[in-house]
């Protein structure tokens, strides 16, 4: 279990590095509210953006290793601290000082995640024990909710669109983590290349990348990041309990769960408002404004 925690923390750090590198590259691109093929072609020619892609792949590999050694209910909440790591790395890359608000938010988020994990105390569960019907129901519900959020978001403008797409992306990354959990279990049983999750990931991965890019370009980070950060572990909780049969503490521990979630929500909002996580001002080393970055919450 300790190894799973270490791997998850390293995955969060790699994802944070990807976010900072992608944002550094994206500062040279226009903010038109939508991801286009031209912008992608321009980004591909930038070393910082390519470095970010390398960090994404590293983070994904670490997450796969973490999910192979621990339950999804343990791994996904830990990845929330990616946002705190992003802030710390941004302060170094963009040569900006962290203030009391940022440090309070970082400590609050770390404490909230720790409290949530202790109160949930996830255990048990086996993705291979889930029936085909459970997998089908889980996939169907996830796809329907994400589709509804995307359609709703595209009828809205700016911050409301970013919020809807952020929640959709977070849920999708929780679903991707569920696929990874199923896949690692199948590989452990020697059925990896015959498992349908292997090929589902080939579609789910790029779809999540595209959805995230549109969420982050739709509006300010403070609009998209809270939903993106929180819906990921909530989706993982649903998959872990309802599909994989993982167990969590109930009763009085539910109050501690709520306290941990409240601390994470408040800290996420504080961090998302930090100028270090914004990138509108292309001429300043500590950019402000709306974000144009890449951050994986899978």
pLDDT digits (tens), the chain, 298 positions? 789 999 999 999 998 888 788 777 666 555 544 555 666 676 677 787 788 889 989 998 999 999 988 889 899 889 888 888 888 888 888 787 888 888 998 999 999 999 999 998 888 888 998 999 999 999 999 999 999 999 998 888 878 888 899 899 999 999 999 999 999 999 988 887 889 999 999 999 899 888 887 887 777 767 787 788 888 888 988 999 999 999 888 888 999 999 999 999 899 888 877 777 665 444 443 333 333 333 334 4
DSSP secondary structure letter of residue 74: H
DSSP secondary structure letter of residue 125: -
Check: CB of residue 240 under 8 Å from CB of residue 125: yes
Res 274: pLDDT: 78
- Whether this prediction's pTM lies above 0.85 is answered by no
Res 248: pLDDT: 87
| Long-range contact pairs involving 50-56 (C-beta distance under 8 Å, separation at least 24) | 51/21, 52/17, 52/18, 52/19, 52/20, 52/21, 52/22, 52/25, 52/294, 53/18, 55/14, 55/15, 55/17, 55/18, 55/21, 56/14, 56/15, 56/18, 56/294, 56/296
Res 180: pLDDT: 93
State the Cα–Cα distance between residues 233 and 175, nearest whole angstrom: 10
Q: Tell me which residue of 125, 137, 133, 138 sits closest to 67, measured CA to CA.
A: 125
Provide the token pair at 219.
Answer: 């509006």
Res 197: pLDDT: 93
Res 252: pLDDT: 86
SS3 29: coil
Res 290: pLDDT: 30
Provide the token pair at 174.
Answer: 């929780």
Res 31: pLDDT: 52
SS3 226: helix
């Amino acid at each position: 279990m300790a190894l799973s925690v270490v791997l998850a923390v390293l995955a969060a750090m790699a994802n944070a590095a990807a976010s900072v590198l992608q944002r550094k590259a994206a500062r040279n691109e226009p903010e038109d509210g939508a991801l286009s093929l031209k912008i992608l072609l321009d980004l591909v020619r930038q070393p910082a953006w390519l470095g970010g892609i390398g960090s994404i792949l590293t983070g994904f590999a670490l997450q796969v290793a973490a999910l192979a050694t621990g339950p999804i209910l343990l791994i996904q909440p830990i990845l929330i601290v990616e946002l705190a790591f992003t802030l710390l790395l941004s302060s170094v890359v963009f040569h900006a000082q962290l203030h009391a608000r940022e440090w309070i938010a970082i400590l609050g988020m770390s404490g909230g995640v720790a409290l949530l994990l202790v109160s949930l105390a996830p255990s048990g569960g086996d993705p291979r024990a889930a029936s085909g019907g459970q997998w089908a129901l889980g996939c169907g519900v996830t796809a329907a909710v994400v589709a509804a959020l995307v359609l709703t978001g595209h009828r809205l403008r700016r911050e409301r669109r970013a919020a809807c797409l952020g929640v959709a992306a977070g849920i999708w990354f929780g679903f991707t983590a569920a696929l990874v959990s199923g896949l690692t279990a199948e590989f452990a049983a020697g059925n990896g290349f015959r498992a349908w999750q292997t090929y589902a990931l080939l579609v789910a991965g790029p779809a999540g990348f595209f959805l995230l890019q549109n969420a982050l370009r739709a509006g300010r980070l403070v609009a998209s990041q809270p939903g993106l950060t929180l819906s990921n572990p909530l989706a993982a909780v649903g998959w872990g309990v309802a599909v994989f049969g993982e167990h969590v503490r109930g009763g009085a521990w539910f109050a501690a769960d709520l306290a941990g979630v409240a601390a994470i929500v408040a800290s996420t909002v504080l961090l998302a408002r930090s100028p270090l996580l914004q990138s509108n001002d292309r001429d300043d080393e500590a950019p402000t404004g709306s974000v144009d970055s890449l951050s994986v919450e899978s």
